[in-house]
Amino acid sequence: MSAVLPRSDDRSNERAEEKLAIVTGGRFAGVGAKVAHGVIRYGDRDVAAVVDEAFAGKTASEVVPFCARPVPIVATVSEAAAMGATRLLVGVAPAGGRLDIRLRGVVLEAVRHGLHVEAGLHSLLTDDAELAAAACRQGVELHDLRAVPKDLDVPRGGRWRASDVDVVHTVGTDCNLGKLTVSLELHRAAQARGHASVFVPTGQTGVAVAGWGIAVDHVVADYIAGAGERLVAEGATRGDLLWLEGQGSLFHPAYSGVTLGLLHGVVPDVMVLVHRAALTSTRNYPDVPLPSLAEVVTSYERAAAFIKPARVAAVAVDTSAMGETAARDALEEIARASGRPADDVVRFGADRILDAVMSEL
Amino acid sequence: MSAVLPRSDDRSNERAEEKLAIVTGGRFAGVGAKVAHGVIRYGDRDVAAVVDEAFAGKTASEVVPFCARPVPIVATVSEAAAMGATRLLVGVAPAGGRLDIRLRGVVLEAVRHGLHVEAGLHSLLTDDAELAAAACRQGVELHDLRAVPKDLDVPRGGRWRASDVDVVHTVGTDCNLGKLTVSLELHRAAQARGHASVFVPTGQTGVAVAGWGIAVDHVVADYIAGAGERLVAEGATRGDLLWLEGQGSLFHPAYSGVTLGLLHGVVPDVMVLVHRAALTSTRNYPDVPLPSLAEVVTSYERAAAFIKPARVAAVAVDTSAMGETAARDALEEIARASGRPADDVVRFGADRILDAVMSEL
């Protein structure tokens, strides 16, 4: 049994044939199921079924319109297996990052049905002796999304010299305000235009959505940039326009180190600033005010330029808390303050920001 | 047997009575013994003896004048124990970070003599089953300097609001150019002036010198700043003028994340820029040029100001590769280029830079 899905191209055929069952333990309708919702809305991964007895008989998009795919919801793993599922994904983030008894029972049942299992828990599946033994007997894989490669190192360098790929990096004014969503919406819009576009995941939810990647906030501090470089290298085997999900914020008292290390590891060609309308301070540290948007843009451009210059092409804004008129006013004001085009890619579409990005490449 | 020396004040009496034996396995005269040299030159720790049969009968400062203390060198652990040693420190960084057979034999002998053992190896002492069993039988502690606390977290915050201590942070134009040495020289000069000064170690050599601290480059990326905040809190229990050793450089393609995370975790009141004369690029990435010294100073001040403003008070320069006239010319040019007083604290003394720091507090 291997703890980590090998990150190389030679398994893409196998991955292409894989069908997911996503288990949400009665919580499919809630925000806690954001891994499930993200995978269904954005995933290139084939989803055979959601396993959630509370909503069995409906479809995913009937219960959560954001999902946008009529994936059937069934009550049991054996039904999902009968529908072709080959891998179970734990689609909720349980409190404390641990499997509760009910979800753990579903995971064990999946293993006994010969399904691989994938989860982004704090407590690793592979550390659960009973699960590990069962997986070993069945010859299935337990894949912990938070586990990081054991052979990480510092960057070899070279991204700043020449490159066959274009790297677009989403950076933010805070953590947890939509860098993943913006990266995925821009990636989908680029695919629709025919680009060989790749979403490159750098956090556990992104890894669940895409089925590969590294949760860079969990690597040893010395290897943040090395992990970023490795993700670009792997992205380059999958396409030539890479959307590198950012993490944290340069202005975040806890996570700025991850942000700068990742920025210097991925060495972007263009950045997209992700912002929430009306945000004026870091959410978890409200007494640390944000600089002006003009300063935010300049700070990211200066920081990138320590290694290689890159411009912030546009500002992607979450206006979901506002009515439409207020949202359009806010976007206009943000464009003025930042000196960059601003739009809400979920609400109004990704084309304007994608145009701004492409004009820099 | 405990793997990590508890980092709290209640053991300071015990620590004060402790006497070190430092083993260097025939290599006391070489640069590989820099942990031994640093601990002898700078340590507040009582050193009973060096254990190195190749130099037995001499003193440390006879063999390496930089050590500046006539610590006796003996051939065996039992001699060191007879001289009162209670703890063995591995004073060299062996190739590959592993104990060779000879050093491992000395460590085992020390355990059998009832000495605690301390080392900054990649391979943890506590992972060596025979050593661990012997330490358990003897009731002695194996202390791995690279091991990090298991209960790290993000910063609680508050350092930017008010503080009873002054925090001076050494930042650099590269890694490995003397931030540790500059921190220690300034700390000693401040002590000589009667300040309640504390050197706060953030890397494994610093931890070996001071006997406490956290190697922040080995913590999980999300907790870099949290580790910095914790080190300030512990430093504040030991004094009120803290010299926080910096790591890496904002301009370093591999380590900039650690640098910014640590800067935002310790929230300095003043910074001292550490530089090597004639350095124009990151040593390990020679095709990434350094910005001008004026830009370096501005970049650190801007980055600090994301959380709380702090000035770079002075530039501490390593001029050891130059003759004295060239060194004085270089310092003058660096002062002009950076707009800050510049001096070589090892060569010409720490007073001028200490004055510049104190004038900012």
Task: Give A79 or B145, the one with higher predicted confidence.
Answer: A79
Q: Which chain B residues are within 8 Å of A218, Cβ to Cβ?
A: 220-222
Inter-chain residue contact A257 with B217, CB threshold 8 Å: no
Supply the DSSP symbol for B220: B
- What CA–CA distance (Å, rounded) separates B226 from A33? 29
What would the pLDDT profile of B188-224 be if each residue is shown by its tens digit? 999 999 999 999 999 988 998 988 999 999 899 999 9
Q: Which chain A residues are within 8 Å of B266, Cβ to Cβ?
A: none
Report the complex ipTM.
0.88
Q: How much is the pLDDT for B145?
A: 86
Residues of chain A with pLDDT under 70: 1-16, 94-97, 159-162
Quick check: B307 pLDDT over 60? yes
In order, the DSSP letters of A68-82 are: -S--BEES-HHHHHH
Q: Which chain B residues are within 8 Å of A287, Cβ to Cβ?
A: 157, 160-161
At A260, list the tokens: 């700068």
Contacts 24+ apart (CB under 8 A), A346-351: A346/A178, A346/A181, A346/A185, A346/A318, A346/A320, A347/A319, A347/A320, A349/A189, A350/A185, A350/A186, A350/A188, A350/A189, A351/A189
The whole-angstrom distance between B338's CA and the closest CA on chain A is: 17
What would the pLDDT profile of B11-35 be if each residue is shown by its tens digit? 444 566 899 999 999 999 987 888 8
The Cα angle at residue B232 between residues B9 and B171, in degrees rounded to 5 = 135
Return the exposure string of A336-345: e unless at least 16 CB atoms fall within 10 Å of the residue's CB, then b: ebbebbbbbb
**Mean model confidence pLDDT for chain B:** 91
CB contact set of A38 (below 8 Å; sequence gap of 6+): A180, A184, A205, A208, A209
Quick check: B349 pLDDT over 80? yes
Quick check: B128 pLDDT over 50? yes
Inter-chain residue contact A288 with B299, CB threshold 8 Å: no
Helix (H) or strand (E) holding B32: none
The whole-angstrom distance between B156's CA and the closest CA on chain A is: 9
Query: Residue length, chain A?
Result: 361
Interface test with A, best of B222, B224, B266, B281 (most A CBs within 10 A): B222
Q: How much is the pLDDT for B14?
A: 54
Q: Residue A307 is nearest to which of B161, B220, B288, comparing CB atoms? A: B288
Inter-chain residue contact A250 with B257, CB threshold 8 Å: no
Q: Greatest CA separation found in chain B?
A: 61
Inter-chain residue contact A221 with B220, CB threshold 8 Å: yes
Contacts 24+ apart (CB under 8 A), A42-45: A42/A184, A42/A188, A42/A199, A42/A209, A43/A209, A43/A210, A43/A211, A44/A210, A44/A211, A45/A15, A45/A18, A45/A20, A45/A209, A45/A210, A45/A211
Quick check: B4 pLDDT over 50? no
Q: How much is the pLDDT for B96?
A: 64
Inter-chain residue contact A224 with B285, CB threshold 8 Å: no
| Spatial CA neighbour of A202 closest among A190, A189, A218 | A218
- What CA–CA distance (Å, rounded) separates A97 from A163? 39
What would the pLDDT profile of B49-64 be if each residue is shown by its tens digit? 999 999 999 999 999 9
The whole-angstrom distance between B309's CA and the closest CA on chain A is: 12
Q: Residue B264 is nearest to which of A155, A256, A265, comparing CB atoms? A: A256
In order, the DSSP letters of A145-199 are: TT---TT--S----TTT--SSEEEEEEESSSSSSHHHHHHHHHHHHHHTT--EEE
A interface toward B at CB cutoff 8 Å?
Answer: 154-155, 157, 160-161, 216-222, 224-226, 250-262, 264-265, 284-285, 287-288, 291, 299, 302-303, 306-307
What is the reported pTM? 0.88
Q: How much is the pLDDT for B12?
A: 44
Phi-psi sector, B278: left (phi>0), alpha (psi -120 to 50), beta: left
The whole-angstrom distance between A217's CA and the closest CA on chain B is: 5
**What Rg do the C-alpha atoms of chain B give, in angstroms?**
20
- What CA–CA distance (Å, rounded) separates B256 from B285? 13
- What CA–CA distance (Å, rounded) separates A211 from B27? 50
- What CA–CA distance (Å, rounded) separates A133 from A118? 16
Supply the DSSP symbol for A281: B
| Spatial CA neighbour of B2 closest among B99, B107, B207, B144 | B144
Inter-chain residue contact B261 with A264, CB threshold 8 Å: no
At B331, list the tokens: 């310092």
Q: Which residues pair with B250 in a beta bridge?
A: none
Inter-chain residue contact A256 with B251, CB threshold 8 Å: no
